[in-house]
Structure 1
Amino acid sequence: MEALERIRPVNGAPCWVSLIVRDLRAAQGFYRSALGWEFVDSALGDNFCVAMARGLPVAGLGCCSRTARPPAVWTPYFAVDDADETADRVRERGATLAVGPVKLGEGRAAIAADRDGAIFGFWEGTALTWSVGRGDAPARLDLRTRHAFEAAIFYAEVFDWAERPGGCTVDYTEGHVHIGLDGHTVATLHGGGVGSAADPAIRPRWVVGFRVGDGARTATAAGAAGGAVSPSNGGPSTDDFVIRDPDGALFTVFDA
């Protein structure tokens, strides 16, 4: 297979989603059965792969070491020009820098948690051609947080939202915050997250949603493959299904 196309993403815009797993083959088996994904080699090495949906790159899967046991969390990444500067901004605003910045393949990556505990990453360098929020984009990003407007201020200061010409815009609509790029919504921020909630689905977190042909059918397939399924609970769409994979990572699926 030819090498996947790489581009320089817009600073501050979502540029990728990934999941670190304990058993790469087992994870591939689950997501192949549940979502119909195929997998190709990644430039990051043997412990990483790129998931493909309808011929498009949709997500990354990577295998952690046997000694490291990070939480199973689908993580969105945002493009930055300078990972070190972004890391400083994260710390200065009372959030937590968990990993990095570290060199990874052709770029540098870091993982952080915002002030309410939602995990996100940022990436310096070129990235695979990937879209979110457009007509047939394979993924959607929504932040469930304690207070949408406070979160918008935090992320805007970290990623220069609404500051650079040609960059991401910020719009406030009916209690939600919409992050746009080139006239498309690339992320939404919703309030109502409860940090002390027993159910992790309603704690503050970035919700990664994947486009599928039939959400109900996908949910059934996910359950048969060893996942746990529940209807959306106050998310961006009541037609979404929330799925927990066998490692405990939560994601949603929505109809194409």
Structure 2
Amino acid sequence: MKHDMPSPAGAKMSTHSVFGAPCWVSLTSRDLKATEEFYGAVLGWQWRPARLGDRFRIALADGAPVAGIAGVATMWQMAVAWTPYFAVRSADEAVARVQERMGTAAVGPISLPPGRAALLADRDGATFGIWEGELFTDWETWRHAQPAFITLHTRDAFDAAIFYGEVLDWASDTPGCCEVQYEGGEVVLRSRGDVVARIESGALEAAPDPTIRPHWQVHFTVTDVSACTRAAELHGGSVLSKGSDEAVLRDPDGAQFTVTSRRGR
């Protein structure tokens, strides 16, 4: 498939500074206007055009870029979903490692100056992206603007950690790589001391319900979880689960994400 993707391009910090860590999130949608209205109401996002064309937008939280939105799901026959992107030193090398380990390369690597991207799936079917090049915004700013962290719900957390560790150079001898620890039955990924991802066991690969198949879940920090759930329902979304500090929501297109209270971080 030959096309641009919502990409983390345009800033001075490069993936060599934060390699192996999540560096961006993007959403494919069917209706760009409806997506803007929904996430504007639920998360308070503002919008600006993206360099990739009329079907793309950059979401801003308090003026800081936090996500890319691409209204191309129907045109490109892609699933409606949130996708995390990981910083890599070499997109070609990362894609080769994925394929060598029985993963799948769906798109790319493709050139999106000033970098290169690919859309991939691990061997259990969870979709993720990689990005090589300059980051969209300063990584520390992005990390603390709104995305809290990402969670992989997968068949076997230990097996998945080995796969991603070999693809993304986690816990390697290279300075600056991500640290991996096994804590309380889950794998925890840290970059520069921050928890940036978790991997949990228990997903069912062949489950008819996509919410319990292996997938990456994106968490966004908010000040009021209850207000977000009310706004989601008022604007055509749904609430899949809700606790005091966290709720799992689905947008009108079907993309699933989590809102997490700033108090609960």
TM-score with structure 1 length normalisation? 0.91
Worse-matched range after superposition: 167-176 or 4-13? 4-13
Q: Structure 1 residue 208: deviation in Å?
A: 0.3
CA offset digits 1:173-224 (Å, max 9, x no partner): 1211111111111111111111222322221100001111111110110111
CA offset digits 1:39-70 (Å, max 9, x no partner): 11223333221111122221110121753221
Identify the match of residue 227 of structure 2 among 217, 226, 238. Answer: 217
Q: 2:148·2:196 contact (CA, 8 Å) conserved in 1?
A: no
Distance 1:132 1:228, change over 3 A: farther
Distance 1:165 1:215, change over 3 A: same
Unaligned segments of structure 2, at least 5 residues: 1-8
Q: 2:104·2:120 contact (CA, 8 Å) conserved in 1?
A: yes
What is the SS of the residue equivalent to 2:81?
coil
Q: Structure 1 residue 103: deviation in Å?
A: 1.4
Identify the match of residue 99 of structure 1 among 89, 92, 107. Answer: 107
What is the SS of the residue equivalent to 1:116?
coil
Worse-matched range after superposition: 103-112 or 243-252? 103-112
Q: Structure 1 residue 34: deviation in Å?
A: 1.4
Distance 1:6 1:139 in 2: 22
Q: Which residue of 2 aligns with 1:246?
A: 252
Q: 1:131·1:139 contact (CA, 8 Å) conserved in 2?
A: no
Identify the match of residue 31 of structure 1 among 28, 36, 39. Answer: 39
Q: Structure 1 residue 238: deviation in Å?
A: 7.1
Q: Which residue of 2 aligns with 1:182?
A: 192
What is the SS of the residue equivalent to 1:7?
coil
Q: Which residue of 1 aligns with 2:157?
A: 148
Distance 1:38 1:24 in 2: 13
Distance 1:162 1:102 in 2: 27
Worse-matched range after superposition: 193-202 or 90-99? 193-202
Distance 2:111 2:250 in 1: 30
Q: 1:132·1:141 contact (CA, 8 Å) conserved in 2?
A: no
- Equivalent position amino acid for 2:184 in 1: E
How many residue pairs get aligned? The number is: 250
Distance 2:257 2:145 in 1: 18
Worse-matched range after superposition: 70-79 or 103-112? 103-112
Q: Structure 1 residue 162: deviation in Å?
A: 0.7
- Equivalent position amino acid for 1:154 in 2: F
Q: Structure 1 residue 20: deviation in Å?
A: 1.4
Identify the match of residue 255 of structure 1 among 235, 248, 261. Answer: 261
Q: Which residue of 2 aligns with 1:158?
A: 167
- Equivalent position amino acid for 2:160 in 1: A
What is the SS of the residue equivalent to 1:33?
helix
Distance 2:179 2:199 in 1: 13
Q: Structure 1 residue 154: deviation in Å?
A: 0.2
Distance 1:118 1:208, change over 3 A: same
Distance 1:146 1:132, change over 3 A: farther
Distance 1:178 1:32 in 2: 31
Q: 1:170·1:178 contact (CA, 8 Å) conserved in 2?
A: yes
Distance 1:20 1:119 in 2: 12
RMSD: 2.1
How many percent of aligned residue pairs carry the same amino acid? 49
Unaligned segments of structure 1, at least 5 residues: none
Q: 1:215·1:254 contact (CA, 8 Å) conserved in 2?
A: yes
Distance 1:215 1:19, change over 3 A: same
- Equivalent position amino acid for 2:217 in 1: V
Distance 1:117 1:74 in 2: 14
Distance 2:204 2:244 in 1: 19
Q: 1:132·1:186 contact (CA, 8 Å) conserved in 2?
A: no
